[in-house]
């Protein structure tokens, strides 16, 4: 069974969300709730640290795509850092990498937002 955990830290008006585990059809709703809650609290710039993310399915990409569209309307952005090759390949396949920015390190992402 897939497990998903979050460790969040607010950096000014940015949220750094460390994601650990797998995002699939069962865990994608957890991710959606976490991201919607952050946006509801006024955080429109979100950095997802994917160093602990081992797998993402199309359901997870769908959640990220919808949040990305919503944040763009609010002049915000969701970006990703420490993305493993397997995760990036899935993001590429689903065209998410054409809509969001990916950074090699958390420091680069923080400097960009």
Supply the CATH number for residue 69's domain.
3.30.750.24
Q: Are strands 4-11 and 14-23 parallel, antiparallel or unpaired?
A: antiparallel
In this predicted structure, what is the pLDDT of residue 90?
95
Helices (H), strands (E): how many in the chain?
Answer: 4, 5
Terminal Cα-to-Cα distance of the chain (whole angstroms): 35
Among residues 60, 68, 65, 104, the alpha carbon closest in space to that of 83 is found at 104
- Tens digit of pLDDT for each residue in 50-100? 999 999 999 999 999 999 999 999 999 999 999 999 999 999 999 999 999
Does position 1 have pLDDT exceeding 60, yes or no? no
Domains identified in the chain, total number = 1
Question: Which residues constitute the domain of residue 34?
Answer: 4-112
């Amino acid at each position: 069974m897939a497990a998903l955990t979050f460790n969040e830290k607010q950096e000014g008006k940015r949220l750094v969300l460390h994601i650990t585990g797998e995002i699939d059809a069962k865990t994608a709703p957890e991710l959606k709730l976490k991201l919607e809650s952050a946006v509801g609290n006024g955080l429109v710039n979100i950095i997802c640290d994917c160093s602990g993310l081992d797998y993402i399915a199309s359901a997870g990409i769908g959640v990220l795509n919808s949040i990305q569209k919503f944040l763009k309307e609010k002049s915000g952005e969701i970006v990703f850092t420490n993305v493993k090759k397997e995760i990036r390949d899935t993001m590429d396949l689903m065209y998410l990498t054409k809509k969001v920015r990916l950074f090699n390190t958390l420091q680069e992402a923080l400097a960009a937002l």
